[in-house]
Amino acid sequence: MSGYLPYRYFISDFLWNGHLPLWNPFQNLGYPGYSDLQSGCWYPVTWILMLFGKYNITSLNIELSLCFIIAGLGMYSFSNYFFKCQKTALILGLSYGLSGIMTGSTQLMVFLIGQAWLPWVLLSFFKLRHSKTWGAIICSSVCISFNITGASPAFSIALFYILLGLFIYFLFTVKKEQKKLFVLNSFKVSILTSLLLAPYFISLYDFMPYFNRINKLPFEDYLLANPFSIREYLSFLAPFSVISKSSFFDQCDLSLRNAYVGIVILFLFIYSTYKRILKQDFKLIVLLIVSFVLAAGSLTPAYKLFYNFIPGFGLFRHPSFFKSYSVFLILLISAPALKTVLLKDKKMAINKLFGGIGLGGCILVLTGFFLSDGSLKNLFYQIIEALKLPEFSNSTFQTHMIISGLVIMSLTVFYFFLRRIKLSNYLILVSIVFFDLSIQTFLTAPTTIYYPKSYASFSDVNSYFKHLPKKINQTATLSYNEIDSLHMFKKTGGITNNLGTFNKTLSHRGLNPTKFKSFETVRNEKRLNQFTRHPVVYSLKDSLNIDDVSITYNAFTCKVRNMSSTPKHLVLNQNHHHLWSAKLNNQAISIKKENGLVMGVEIPSNTEGILHFSYQSPYLPYAIIIMLLTYCACVFTGIFSAKKRLINWV
């Protein structure tokens, strides 16, 4: 609500007013909104939601919910393709869609999108090995495009290396007669994906010279923040414990600690790993270890090797996100054992499984009890307080462990009840997995998914969007500091940042990773007030008459009058970007960078007239046309292919 919602609202507001979302003047002295790689500007799912009106809290809820659905269906499809068992695929789909990487990181929507599209990308890429039609090529290109345009750039960088690794692996493993087909299909995918990503690439190109994150970050705390350390491994068994109020987990942010896959999958994974080691089948295990090592960040020496020798590894933070691939691999490794339990319906095997699960729950309860202060009365009070599910629990880590253990023990009791009424292994496991994931989601949701406070209720926030201004606030004569001090920004519960964007009011504040290098430099040098004490258009020493300043979409206009015999200087108090142009009485004049940050022009002597600043990206419209035509071609090809298959079937 503080980040991705305002970025998307800005885009939809500009589009619904008939303008491309080029320049957002409402954050950090302006920035090119279309170049924000986490804004969803080029993400088709966001476009569809914007067709129904300006992006608001309803749109955000729908997009977030779709992440869980896309993830679950993707894992189901991927598993069904490889293991040829719908029962196994259903359980793996549930486990992935409601895993800790989804429910624990919900506030990081661009992480959820990357996790959601991963199974679809891999599935379509695997099909390229033997597909002789355009279907797999189109699916692969579209899924890759959706992943890149919607997810965090960190996921895009990781995806590039994953697909490159798979490409090299397939070159050595596919049959000789299929190798040429696979290479040709891969080439077609790269071309088609490039066409679909044309505006995305242009956006990145336009902002690249100014982007504060385009260069490798120093190997220090900022880059290395939030590793997935050995402490967070407890989330595989007791996810509720890692969101407790404990300094034990302070090394990793609250939203990046959870990697739960379900207690059933965890025990089947342990058994499957043991079997793979006996059979000396190490491929997936090696990949799993690599992903865990990368997720640990600088806690192991390996991450610095990747940082130094692998391009792109110094551009993103939060190494913990690599656990997404660990969870994916854990599900794949556990699948054979899960399939065996489901199809052979061995009661003894599943009894042993839940016996071990029950024992694990007992160990958690006993460990939590012995680590506590020993006061049963105090412990009982803390358990009651934790089960009230506040947004941030004050209950101890030990209390959360006990609750997690009790949940696991109750699932074991539930299993023996289901066994007593003689259900099949499939129905039992589906029921256990469903209730397990539902309970864990229910426990963590107030902390990591939604606001449990009435002041931020859906109706209040939805009403907020209905009463937002429809036009840009024309506060051009006020300085940025005056605008901020007058508290002109209408706000509501849950929305505390980027208020200028919602209120369409100029601001020098904003929460956004897309920043100008020069803006960050000026702010770090504590020189920002030199600029924010002025309005958006001004002349030093009041030596120039400026009237009728107008703020419009991607443009600024004012009347200027210089009747002196010398040229006078005028400043546009927005971040300097080479795509800004200026015209005085329809005659182009040059723009120069002022004081290392903003833009300035010279007004000739004995001159008066209209000064117009406008921002345009010359290649972007053509890139958009190319992208839209390519998407249309993909859709029509898909419809034609489906129609042809239907005719053949009839």
351, 373: one domain: yes
Residue 163 resides in a domain = no
Q: How far apart are CA 111 and CA 38, in angstroms?
A: 10
Domain extent, residue 591, equals 1-32+453-616
435, 544: one domain: no
Residue at which a domain ends, from 426, 448, 470 = 448
Q: How far apart are CA 358 and CA 417, in angstroms?
A: 14
Residue 54 C-beta-side C-alpha neighbours within 13 Å: 22
What is the pLDDT, as a whole number, of residue 355?
A: 87
Are 45 and 4 within 8 A, CB to CB? no
393-430 confidence digits (pLDDT tens): 888 888 889 999 999 999 999 998 988 888 888 999 99
Higher pLDDT, 458 or 495: 495
Residue 56 resides in a domain = no
Q: Strands, DSSP E only, in 522-622?
A: 537-538, 545-552, 555-562, 568-572, 580-584, 587-589, 592-594, 598-603, 607-615
Residue 321 resides in a domain = yes
Residue 124 resides in a domain = no
498, 434: one domain: no
What is the pLDDT, as a whole number, of residue 283?
A: 92
Question: Are β-strands 31-32 and 607-615 bridged in parallel, bridged antiparallel, or unpaired?
Answer: unpaired
- Please state, rounded to an integer, the average pLDDT across all residues of the chain: 91
Quick one: how far is CA 297 from the chain centroid?
19
284, 389: one domain: yes
What is the pLDDT, as a whole number, of residue 650?
A: 55
323, 246: one domain: yes
Residue 647 has pLDDT above 70, yes or no: no
Residue 387 resides in a domain = yes
Quick one: how far is CA 612 from the chain centroid?
37
252, 399: one domain: yes
477, 429: one domain: no
Instruction: Identify the weakest region by mean pLDDT among 183-192, 319-328, 353-362.
Output: 353-362
Residue at which a domain ends, from 431, 448, 465 = 448
380, 235: one domain: yes
Residue 342 has pLDDT above 90, yes or no: no
Q: How far apart are CA 88 and CA 429, in angstroms?
A: 10
Tokens of 230: 């050995």
Residue 378 has pLDDT above 80, yes or no: no
461-499 confidence digits (pLDDT tens): 778 888 899 999 998 889 999 998 877 788 887 788 899
339-to-265, 355, 415, 429, 543 alpha-carbon distances in Å: 11, 19, 18, 11, 80
Residue corresponding to tokens 């258009």 = 537
What is the pLDDT, as a whole number, of residue 518?
A: 95
Higher pLDDT, 649 or 530: 530
Percentage of the chain lying above the pLDDT 70 cut = 96
51-to-15, 45, 46 alpha-carbon distances in Å: 10, 10, 9
462, 439: one domain: no
412, 535: one domain: no
Residue 255 resides in a domain = yes
Residue at which a domain ends, from 430, 448, 466 = 448
- The domain tally of the chain equals 2
Are 141 and 125 within 8 A, CB to CB? no
117-153 confidence digits (pLDDT tens): 999 999 999 999 888 888 899 999 999 999 999 999 9
Mean pLDDT, residues 169-185: 90
415, 484: one domain: no
What is the pLDDT, as a whole number, of residue 135?
A: 87
Residue 603 resides in a domain = yes
Q: How far apart are CA 584 and CA 608, in angstroms?
A: 9
Is the pTM higher than 0.85? The answer reads: yes
- What Rg value do the Cα atoms of the chain yield, rounded? 28
Q: How far apart are CA 432 and CA 262, in angstroms?
A: 9
Q: Residue 31: in which H helix or E strand, if any?
A: strand 31-32
Residue 421 resides in a domain = yes
Residue 553 has pLDDT above 90, yes or no: yes
Q: What is the CATH number of the domain that holds 23?
A: 2.60.40.1180
When mean pLDDT is compared over 24-28, 173-177, 213-217, the highest value belongs to 24-28
What is the pLDDT, as a whole number, of residue 455?
A: 44
427, 337: one domain: yes
